[in-house]
Structures are given as structure tokens and as C-alpha cells.
């Protein structure tokens, strides 16, 4: 069994030791990707690479694609299915994921950071400023928070906001559990209308249209938007235009569209100057403890899958 780590930096040592019991473990050095992939049976990836048909052509023996993530936007699921490569990820592992909370924590932190204008305050203070009246923010207590997507992350964020005294509104087309005090809205437009703070926590599948399009972004005028789900959930061009025109009270995003491709990161960076705009590089789930635990979980899942195949062979 030949096992490759496409992003070996800081890979959990315990998970690596378990992998070594299954086969030979190889780290990609950053060069000769074709040589690295050619003989692999198993490939571990995070989010830094797009796993598409072009890459899969370099890995003709690949049987398992392991990704300790819930989202699959970095994976061409059709190409993997055509090549009969099994995806092992965190999708659907609800019981385990309930114990993994960095993303809702980061989301909540971004809410507070936007309301209190932390990025602008930090920059101004380090540049010599000390003006508390210039940076009067808003409290979360008594504020209205709208959650788009009340799944695992959205539900946890809603509970954090409620604990701080905010009114919670939510939209999700699925039949999902919610607390009685949280108000379900019939559509996204009505949720935005009722909310001062809008949080994107929905799941995304490649090819689906944005949940928040140009019309919804118009409704966001004067409001705060936080996105720690996927950049493609929002019409990015319309959002960037709204930010440029100063129509939103603040935006915090941990994700952008086409992160591993021809993205608009340079434009995001340009717009951040002098605005209540926070950019973080998809760090929602990136804590040392959470990443180690998810890597160990996927390795155990791989070991169980290999054992099942051996029994049925």
C-alpha cells in the first residue's frame, strides 16, 4: 500500500504512525508531482490543491482520496467517481463533528470583531492613534442575527449568539432542529430584512447558484455579513461592488470564490484598506487540536475501509 501526503506539513504524528502500519508513507516535496502520484493507492489532501481530472490522470492506481474536511469544493467528485476513487472525508460524520468546534468559534469571533471594528482599531492604534470615539462599535446583546444554514456550524453559532443576548433568526430549507426562541424565516430576503448581522453557514455543492445573489446583497445595505462556509455561496462580484461603494456596515470572510484557481484575492486585499473588512485564509477549522483529531479520524476510517475490502475480497 502506497500512501501519499500532498500537504505533509504539521500532519499529526499519531495519524502518520497509524498510516505507517497500513503501508509506505510518502511526503510530497513540492516538486515532481507526477512522480509522487504515479504509484499511490491512497492520497491525503487538505484544501490547498484542487483535485480534478488533470491531477487524477497522474495517479492511475489511486483507490482512496482522504480529506479531513466537510466541504468538497476542492474535489471533482464526478472525476473521482468515474475513476472509481473512494472519497473518505468528514461529510456526514455528525456525532464526531459535534466535538469539533473551531469553525463556529471563529465565526463568532468574526461577528464580535466586525461589531467592534477590531481590524481598523488595531491598524490605527499601531500607527499611533488612540481615539476611542472614532471607533464606537455595536453590542451583540439585543442585536438581531440571521443564520443562513442551520446545520452543525450554524446551530452552534446561533447558540453562542443567543447566550450573548442576541435575537436569532434562521433560514434553512431542510427540516433541522432549532431552539424555540429562534425565529425561522420563510426565505433569505425576509431573514436579511429582520437581521442586522447575517451569517453564512450553509453547505455548498459545485454547480449550485449563489444563495445570496445581487438582489440579496442590495438588501444587505447597512448590515454586517460574515461568511465562514464557502465563497461560492455569495455572488462575489456583486458583494465586492457593494463593499467598494461602502454599502455594508462590515464584512468578514474566511472564504473566497475559487480559492485554488483564478480568484479575486488581490481585489479583496485592495478593498480592505480603510474599511470594516476582515479577511482570514480559510482558518475556520484550522486549530492544532482539531486538525490532529480529524486526521486521526480519517486514518481510522481508511483502516476500517481497507479491512472491509479485504474481508469481502
- CATH number of the domain enclosing 77: 3.40.50.720
Answer yes or no: do 20 and 155 share one domain: no
Model confidence at 47, pLDDT cuts 50, 70, 90, reads confident
Sheet holding 250-253, edge to edge: 183-184, 167-171, 144-148, 197-200, 224-227, 250-253, 277-279
Give the dihedral sign, CA 289/291/294/299. negative
Answer yes or no: do 205 and 259 share one domain: yes
Using the predicted structure, report yes or no on whether residue 193 has a pLDDT greater than 90: yes
Answer yes or no: do 244 and 149 share one domain: yes
C-beta of residue 244 within 8 angstroms of C-beta of residue 271: yes
Question: If you average pLDDT over residues 258-269, what whole number do you get?
Answer: 93
In a domain, 97, yes or no: no
Which one of the listed residues 155, 156, 230, 293 is annotated catalytic? 230
Answer yes or no: do 271 and 156 share one domain: yes
Answer yes or no: do 72 and 137 share one domain: no
In a domain, 243, yes or no: yes
Model confidence at 260, pLDDT cuts 50, 70, 90, reads confident
Answer yes or no: do 175 and 259 share one domain: yes
C-beta of residue 203 within 8 angstroms of C-beta of residue 174: no
Answer yes or no: do 78 and 143 share one domain: no
Known catalytic residue: 282? Answer: yes
Question: If you average pLDDT over residues 99-103, what whole number do you get?
Answer: 95
Give 156-183 as a 3 state SS string: HHHHHHHHCCCEEEEECCCCCCCCCCCE
Which one of the listed residues 156, 196, 223, 282 is annotated catalytic? 282
Answer yes or no: do 303 and 219 share one domain: no
Q: Where are the beta strands (DSSP E) in 204-305?
A: 224-227, 250-253, 277-279
CA distance linking residue 224 with residue 248, whole number of Å: 6
Q: Where are the beta strands (DSSP E) in the chain?
A: 2-5, 24-27, 42-44, 64-67, 86-89, 144-148, 167-171, 183-184, 197-200, 224-227, 250-253, 277-279
Of 21, 14, 63, 19, nearest in space to 41 by CA = 63
**In angstroms, what CA-CA distances link 169 with 159, 214, 262?**
11, 21, 35
Known catalytic residue: 305? Answer: no
Which one of the listed residues 216, 232, 259, 295 is annotated catalytic? 259
Give the three cell numbers for residue 68. Answer: 479531513
Using the predicted structure, report yes or no on whether residue 310 has a pLDDT greater than 90: no
Among 45-54, 132-141, 143-152, 243-252, the range scoring the smallest mean pLDDT is 45-54
Query: Which residues have C-beta within 8 Å of that of residue 47, sequence separation ≥ 6?
Result: 69, 74, 259, 260, 282
**pLDDT at residue 313, as a whole number:** 62
* DSSP state for residue 3 in the 8-state scheme: E
Model confidence at 48, pLDDT cuts 50, 70, 90, reads confident
Answer yes or no: do 134 and 243 share one domain: yes
Answer yes or no: do 32 and 13 share one domain: yes
pLDDT 10s digits, 279-297: 999 999 999 999 999 999 9
CA distance linking residue 27 with residue 48, whole number of Å: 15
Give the three cell numbers for residue 270. Answer: 485592495
Structural domain that includes position 201: 102-279
Question: If you average pLDDT over residues 13-19, what whole number do you get?
Answer: 97
Percent of the chain with pLDDT over 90: 91
pLDDT 10s digits, 63-95: 999 999 988 889 999 999 999 999 999 998 989
**pLDDT at residue 312, as a whole number:** 75
In a domain, 215, yes or no: yes
The rounded mean pLDDT for the chain is 95
Helical packing angle, 288-312 and 13-20, nearest 10°: 20
**How many domains does the structure of the chain reveal?**
2
C-beta of residue 25 within 8 angstroms of C-beta of residue 3: yes
Give the three cell numbers for residue 258. Answer: 475559487
Using the predicted structure, report yes or no on whether residue 207 has a pLDDT greater than 70: yes
**pLDDT at residue 167, as a whole number:** 98
Answer yes or no: do 196 and 215 share one domain: yes
Known catalytic residue: 49? Answer: no
In a domain, 88, yes or no: yes
Answer yes or no: do 149 and 275 share one domain: yes
**pLDDT at residue 163, as a whole number:** 98
Question: If you average pLDDT over residues 230-237, what whole number do you get?
Answer: 97
In a domain, 207, yes or no: yes
Question: If you average pLDDT over residues 260-265, what whole number do you get?
Answer: 92
Amino acid at each position: 500500500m502506497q500512501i501519499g501526503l500532498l500537504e505533509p506539513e504539521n500532519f499529526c504524528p499519531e495519524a502518520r504512525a497509524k498510516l505507517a502500519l497500513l503501508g509506505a508513507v510518502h511526503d510530497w516535496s513540492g516538486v515532481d508531482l507526477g512522480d509522487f502520484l504515479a504509484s499511490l493507492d491512497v492520497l491525503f489532501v487538505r484544501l490547498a490543491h484542487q483535485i480534478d481530472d488533470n491531477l487524477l490522470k497522474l495517479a492511475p492506481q489511486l483507490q482512496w482520496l482522504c480529506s479531513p474536511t466537510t466541504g468538497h469544493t476542492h474535489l471533482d467528485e464526478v472525476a473521482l467517481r468515474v475513476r472509481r476513487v473512494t472519497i473518505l472525508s468528514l461529510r456526514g460524520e455528525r456525532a464526531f463533528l459535534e466535538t469539533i468546534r473551531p469553525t463556529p468559534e471563529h465565526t463568532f469571533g468574526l461577528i464580535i470583531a466586525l461589531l467592534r471594528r477590531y481590524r481598523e482599531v488595531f491598524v490605527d492604534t499601531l500607527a499611533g492613534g488612540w481615539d476611542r470615539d472614532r471607533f464606537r462599535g455595536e453590542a451583540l446583546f439585543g442585536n438581531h442575527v440571521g443564520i443562513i444554514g442551520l446545520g452543525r456550524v450554524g446551530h452552534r453559532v446561533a447558540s453562542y449568539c443567543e447566550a450573548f443576548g442576541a435575537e436569532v433568526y434562521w433560514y434553512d430549507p431542510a427540516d433541522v432542529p432549532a431552539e424555540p426562541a429562534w425565529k425561522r424565516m420563510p426565505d433569505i430576503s425576509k431573514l436579511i430584512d429582520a437581521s442586522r448581522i447575517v451569517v453564512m453557514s450553509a453547505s455548498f455543492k459545485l454547480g449550485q447558484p449563489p444563495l445570496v445573489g445581487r438582489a440579496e446583497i442590495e438588501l444587505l445595505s447597512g448590515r454586517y455579513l460574515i461568511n465562514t462556509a464557502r465563497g461560492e455561496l455569495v455572488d462575489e462580484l456583486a458583494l465586492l461592488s457593494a463593499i467598494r461603494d461602502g454599502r455594508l456596515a462590515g464584512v468578514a470572510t474566511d472564504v473566497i470564490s475559487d480559492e485554488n484557481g483564478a480568484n479575486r484575492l488581490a481585489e479583496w486585499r485592495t478593498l480592505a484598506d480603510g474599511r470594516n473588512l476582515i479577511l482570514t485564509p480559510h482558518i475556520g477549522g484550522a486549530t492544532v487540536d482539531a486538525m490532529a483529531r480529524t486526521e486521526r479520524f480519517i486514518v481510522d476510517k481508511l483502516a476500517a475501509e481497507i479491512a472491509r475490502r479485504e474481508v469481502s475480497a
